Structures are given as structure tokens and as C-alpha cells.
Structure 1
Amino acid sequence: MQIAFVSIETVHHHDTEANRRCQTVLEVLRDHGHDVHCFCAKFWDDESPSLERDDITYHAVTDDVASRRSFCLRLPFDLAAESPDVVHASARPPTTVLAAAGGAMLARTPLLVEWYGDDGVADDSWTQRAAKRGDRLVAPSELVATWVRERGGDGDRVETIPNPIDIDSIQEVSPGERVDVVYARRLDEGANLESLLLGLAELRDRDWSTTVIGDGPEREAYERLASDLRIDDRITFAGECSLEERLAAYRGAHVFAQTAERCVFPTEMCWALASGCVGIVEYHANSSAHELVEGWDRGFRTTSEEELADAILEAGNLEYRDFDDRFGAYDESVIGDRYLEQYRTLRDEQGLL
């Protein structure tokens, strides 16, 4: 199947959460053996109108990301010329969805729209118009799916497909040092690591150890807070770690704590739970992390530092694991199949199979 993915900005322009999601989808579809094309702004240096990299073909619709108007004017004709089996468009910015819809119409093929919402989903007129386009609207979580419906998206067309992980890679990594609690995230203003630190301070008379993975502008402030709380001798700030290092840490840890205030899909937490961790989530209205642990006997949802501390104690009564096959549903092979099922269903509905 030939898939035309539309995203004016890619991970090769800026390494953002939404762009990483799109790149992962491209790679998963490629690994399923499909012919994947990405229509984007140019990010390579030579004069060629296209670039093949890692078996994905990138087409330069414009020369730079700032040329949004030109991108939207040219895109429908570029898509029609390629004649793909399906058009798959990122909803950022929403104006590209309208252009992708025109291209899909000219190519007489279905349109699937990817809504990620790492900065939320705006409530402006362009977003509302974009939310009404597309034969299928995909979101990474029920949180984002709700935002899309609230902007006018047809609920019958909204499908939730989470970020994928690679189950095989977990089992290829040996468990690291045994620790009681692990936390992983960029340490910025939204990390809310203070909730975990205050919860751990409630347990300072207990024997525990914690690893904090990640770096960022708030790291020094969090290190000072740990010192002020007199628990810094039991917390290791590991900084940035490779995926292999993170997986080793997760397989060695007993609990993964998620306290960030905003999270459209908790990818690191998903890796950790598949690596055997008990999951503890501090609930926030703009975070979907609680969706991963609802109805699960190795997951806890908390709303305060005191509840978080109690959950850590209760989690100590659960067995230590270094792998959990319950999360096989999040493997990239399964996620790839779910996208392909959507494509085939849409083409069947339009009489194209």
C-alpha cells in the first residue's frame, strides 16, 4: 500500500513530542513493508525535490516550514500527482488538514487525520473546521479524543491509537540496579517532580531508593528541593539516558511514578509498565496517564502527596517483576496493524478495495 503522510514539520526540523509520534508512525508503517511518502517542508541541503532516507521518501512541498500558505496551495496537487492509496495528515497546523482533504479528494482516496495535542488542541475557527474533516480522526488517548470531539469532530469517526513501544527490545535488556521508585521525564516546568519528592519525604523514616531520569531547566531546583527535604542521599538524578539505559532502569525498579501535569500519552510509563513496574499516577485534568492504570491491579491513581506516599507503601506488597506481557497490545507491530486496519476499512467503505 502506498501511504502519503502530510506534516509540514517533521522530527528532522524540530524534535517535538508530536513530531516524534509522526516519525514513529512512518517507521512502523515502513517496517510493515509499505511504500511510505512524507509531504513536508524541505529539510535537506541539495536542490533535489525529494529525499529518500531510511526507506521513507520525503517530498518538499515548500522550502521552509514558515511558508504555510504556499504549502497549503501546492499540497493538493502534489498529493494528486502521487496518487496514493491513502492520505494520512497531521493536524498541526490545522490548515494543512484542509489542504490534505483537497488532495485526498483529487486523488480519490480516503483521509485519516492524526491529532496529537502535545500543546493541547486549540479552540479557534481553523481547528474547528479541521476537526470536521477526515474519514477517520486518530488520537493517542481518550483525553485527546475528547478534545477533538469538543472542537466538532464526529465521535463516530474518532479512533484512539496509543504510541507504540517495542516489546522485544525490553526483553533484550538486562534489569539494572534494584530501586524502589523510578521517575522519567524532561525536568521542565511541567514535570511536577515536586509531588513525588514531597510524597517520598512522607516516607523518610522508611528504607527506599529512587532514580530520577531526565534533564532540563528545573533539574537544579528539584535537586535543591530534595536536599531541603533531607532525602537527597536516597535519590539518584541520572540525567539524560539512552533507551537501553532507561529500560534497564525500569526492569530493575519496582514502581514507576507519573506526576506530570500535562501528558497526552505517557510513553515512558508504558515502557516502564511493560518492563514490570507497578504504576502510580497522580491524576491531572490535562494528563491521560491514568488511562493506562484504570482497572489494573498493579496500578494506582492518586490526587495528593499523601495518597502517593500511601500508594508507594501499598505497591511494596506486590511482587517484583521485570516484564509484563499485558502490554503487548502496545507493541509497534500491533499498532501498525491497527493503522492498516483503518486504511483498509476506509478504502473498503469507499469501494476502493
Structure 2
Amino acid sequence: MDVAFVSNVVYPFVTGGAEKRIYEIGTRLAERDHSVTVYGRHYWDGPSETVYDGLQLHGVSPPRDLYTEGGRRSITEAIEFGKDVLRPLRRSVAEHDVIVASVFPYFPVLAAELAVIGSDTPLVTTWHEVWRDYWKEYLGRLGIFGAMVEQVTARVPQYPIAVSQNTADKLAELGRSREQIRIIPNGIDYEGIQATEPAENGFEVLFVGRLIEPKRVEMLLSAFDALNTDATLGIIGEGPQQEALERQAATLESEDRITFCGFIEDHEEVIAQMRAARVFVSPSVREGFGVTYIEAMAAGCTVIGTKHPNSAAAEVIGDAGFTISPTRNSLREVLRRGLNGERPSKSPQAAAKQFDWGQITTNVEDAYLDIVK
């Protein structure tokens, strides 16, 4: 089978959940003798066409920042990449058995749809999130245009795959038949996590994620400060809220036990921090999946997430961790219980093992072959 992925960013040259999924699945498909091509921006050194870890990379557009100065995803970047990928994808569409496009941003998906028109090559889409009304909060008055593009993207001919039940349900609300949507979650390198040595400079409590408002890190800081404990808190990540969060931390009694680690490029170092932590907390109210929960469970942490209509955290964590209402008091109480040694009813590591990339790749492979047939 010849598989082509369309993604404006390419892992490991740019790190993020959607591009890492493509890399992990793509390299394993290549090991199983499938041909795998990735059409993306030319972020790597050397020629625009090269082979990396078994993947044939096609740089169809020059590198560009993904975010504006305000910390939002650049709309013009997505439009530009959609324009740049259309011609080379259209030219080679007959060479591929299936084309797979990551849905966010949407314009590359629309370009891929134009590329496959009139061909026998099916378009598969991977939906990591569905924003709907959140577009208004994200872009203000311009949010209506984001919602319209999302709606159009959901309705073009495609074979949709959602990474969670939560995302599948929201996609169905945009007009897709629920029976048409396959659910294949994101994954982890379970054995690699087990083999990682814990960090020597670890923290009792850990957060990993982009520092944006939906992650509710300010609530975590407040709940942690109210514990009156000697535990330490590590915040790994960067984002537009970082300065405000650092100012908040400076006003807390627990300031000397809170460390902002910034963005850590080496993912193995992030896993080492998870292996050292006792409790992993991400009180996010917007998660299309939430792979950090699974990684922390595999690392042996007591994991805390929130129950929210816009988050798949409760679905992902299940009985292998704790999910709470998104309030400071709820978080403080469960965080206290976790630091006191309370564990969930189901083994976090046993629950995480089912998300190993090997099994996820088999599920994806079966889905692609079924779609091609």
C-alpha cells in the first residue's frame, strides 16, 4: 500500500501531537513494507525531497512560523501551505493508494480534496479536535469564519478518523454520519517509557502542555498553593500565558517550590520527568485526546484530569486515574489525596499499554486497507 500524509509540519523537525502521530504510524507502516510519503513544509536541512527514518519527505513549501505574535495559529500560514501542496499532490495523486490529511488546520484538507477529485484515490482525514463555538472565543468576531471553514471541511467527501469518542461526537454534530466515523486514538511508545530512567531533578507534581487559557494552569497554581505542603511543582511548556502565570506564581507562598521549565525539546527528558513525578495534573477543559495523560499513566504517575464537555480526558483516563470538576477546590482535594498516596482503582500502566503505537498502527493499517478496498 502506498500512503501519503499531508501535514504542514513534520516531526521531529517540528514537535506536536498531530505530526508525531504521522511519524510514529508512518515509520511503522514503512517497516511493514508500505510506501509512505509526507508532504509538508521544508523544515529539515538538505534537499526538499529526502528520506528520513523510512519516510519519503517532500518539502512543498518553505518553513514558516505557525503562530502569530499573539500566540494564535496563523491563518495565512495554513492558506499558503494549502496552496503550495495542491499542485504537487495533484501531480502525484495516482501514485498513492490513499491520502491522509490532518484536519487542523483545515485548508490543507481542502487542498487535498481538490487534488483527489476525478481520481480513484480516497481521502482520509484525521480529526484531532472539533472547535465549533470555541472559534468565537479564539478569534472573537472573526470566529464565525473559522467555524464556517470547519463546517465546510467536515462536509467534503472523506473517510474521517477521530482520535476519541468525544471528537467523533462533535464531528457528527457538524453533519457527518456517526456510522462513517472511525475512532483510532493516539498512541505512546510504551516500552520506551518503561525503559526511561527517572530524572534526578524531578518534581512531586508535574504539568506538561502549552501554556494557554484552556489548560487552566492558573487554577493548578492556586490549588497547589492551597495545599500547604512541601511538595514541588514543575511546569513544562511555553505559550502566551507564560508571563502571566509566572507573575501569579511570584505572589504565592509556594513560589520557591514552583519551577517553570519552559519548552523541553528532548521528549525523552519530558518522559524522564514523568517517571520521577508522583502526580501528573492537567486540568485542561479542551482536549481532543490528551496524549500526555497516557504517557504519564505509562510512567506510573497518579493522573488527574477534568470532566468537561470539550475534553476527552475522562474518556482517556477512565478508572486508571482521577477526573474532577474544573474547580480549584476539587483539584486541591484530589491533588492532596494523590500526594498522600491514594491510587486509582485500575493500574495506570496496564491501562496505558493498550495505547502502544504498535497496536495503534495495526488499527490504522486495517482501516486504510479497508478504505482502499
Answer whether TM exceeds 0.5 for this pair.
Answer: yes
Tell me the distance in 2 between the aligned counterparts of 1:259 and 1:28.
32
Do residues 139 (structure 1) and 146 (structure 2) align?
no
Taking a change above 3 Å as real, the CA distance of residues 128 and 215 of structure 1, as seen in their structure-2 partners, is: closer
Taking a change above 3 Å as real, the CA distance of residues 189 and 132 of structure 1, as seen in their structure-2 partners, is: closer
- Show the counterpart of 2:53: 54
Which has the higher mean CA deviation after the structures are superposed, 37-46 or 143-152? 37-46
Do residues 203 (structure 1) and 227 (structure 2) align?
yes
SS of alignment partner, residue 131 of structure 1: helix
Taking a change above 3 Å as real, the CA distance of residues 195 and 2 of structure 1, as seen in their structure-2 partners, is: same
- Show the counterpart of 1:307: 330
Provide Cα deviations, 1:105-160, integer angstroms capped at 9, x if missing partner: 65424331122238778431x54343234552112223322332222222111122
Shift of 1:92: 4.3
- Structure 2: which 5+ residue stretches go unaligned? 64-76, 136-145
Do residues 214 (structure 1) and 237 (structure 2) align?
yes
- Show the counterpart of 2:211: 187
Where does 1:276-291 land on structure 2 (aligned, <5 Å)? 276-291=300-315
Shift of 1:246: 2.0
SS of alignment partner, residue 123 of structure 1: helix
Counterpart residue type for residue 57 of structure 2: Y
Tell me the distance in 2 between the aligned counterparts of 1:304 and 1:106.
52
- Show the counterpart of 2:68: none
Shift of 1:211: 2.3
- Structure 1: which 5+ residue stretches go unaligned? 349-353
Tell me the distance in 2 between the aligned counterparts of 1:10 and 1:217.
23
Where does 1:34-183 land on structure 2 (aligned, <5 Å)? 34-40=34-40, 50-59=49-58, 66=80, 68-69=82-83, 71-72=85-86, 75-80=89-94, 82=95, 84-101=96-113, 103-104=115-116, 106-117=118-129, 122-124=146-148, 126-134=149-157, 136-176=159-199, 179-183=203-207
Tell me the distance in 1 between the aligned counterparts of 2:312 and 2:337.
23
Shift of 1:167: 0.7
SS of alignment partner, residue 287 of structure 1: coil
Tell me the distance in 2 between the aligned counterparts of 1:213 and 1:95.
31
Counterpart residue type for residue 232 of structure 1: E
Provide Cα deviations, 1:277-296, integer angstroms capped at 9, x if missing partner: 111113344332232223x0
Tell me the distance in 2 between the aligned counterparts of 1:297 and 1:92.
29
Which has the higher mean CA deviation after the structures are superposed, 3-12 or 278-287? 3-12
Taking a change above 3 Å as real, the CA distance of residues 226 and 157 of structure 1, as seen in their structure-2 partners, is: same
Provide Cα deviations, 1:193-250, integer angstroms capped at 9, x if missing partner: 111111122211x443322223445434333323322012332333333322222221
Counterpart residue type for residue 335 of structure 1: I
Taking a change above 3 Å as real, the CA distance of residues 319 and 49 of structure 1, as seen in their structure-2 partners, is: closer
Do residues 272 (structure 1) and 288 (structure 2) align?
no
Contact map agreement 1:118 1:263 (CA 8 A) in 2: no
Taking a change above 3 Å as real, the CA distance of residues 92 and 262 of structure 1, as seen in their structure-2 partners, is: closer
Counterpart residue type for residue 318 of structure 1: E
Larger Rg: 1
| Number of equivalences | 342
Counterpart residue type for residue 369 of structure 2: R
Task: Give the RMSD, CA atoms, in angstroms.
Answer: 3.3
**TM-score of the aligned structures, taking structure 2 as reference length:** 0.78
- Show the counterpart of 2:27: 27
SS of alignment partner, residue 368 of structure 2: helix
Tell me the distance in 2 between the aligned counterparts of 1:62 and 1:174.
39
Tell me the distance in 1 between the aligned counterparts of 2:55 and 2:343.
43
- Show the counterpart of 1:3: 3
- Show the counterpart of 1:351: none
Taking a change above 3 Å as real, the CA distance of residues 219 and 127 of structure 1, as seen in their structure-2 partners, is: closer
Contact map agreement 2:154 2:174 (CA 8 A) in 1: yes
Shift of 1:179: 4.4
Counterpart residue type for residue 366 of structure 2: E
Tell me the distance in 2 between the aligned counterparts of 1:325 and 1:220.
38
Counterpart residue type for residue 347 of structure 1: V
- Show the counterpart of 2:71: none
Counterpart residue type for residue 56 of structure 1: L
SS of alignment partner, residue 295 of structure 2: helix
Do residues 254 (structure 1) and 266 (structure 2) align?
no
Contact map agreement 1:39 1:59 (CA 8 A) in 2: yes
Contact map agreement 2:294 2:317 (CA 8 A) in 1: no
Where does 1:292-303 land on structure 2 (aligned, <5 Å)? 292-294=316-318, 296-303=319-326
Identity across aligned pairs (percent)? 28
Taking a change above 3 Å as real, the CA distance of residues 62 and 102 of structure 1, as seen in their structure-2 partners, is: same
Tell me the distance in 2 between the aligned counterparts of 1:187 and 1:213.
9
Taking a change above 3 Å as real, the CA distance of residues 180 and 44 of structure 1, as seen in their structure-2 partners, is: closer
Contact map agreement 1:7 1:92 (CA 8 A) in 2: no
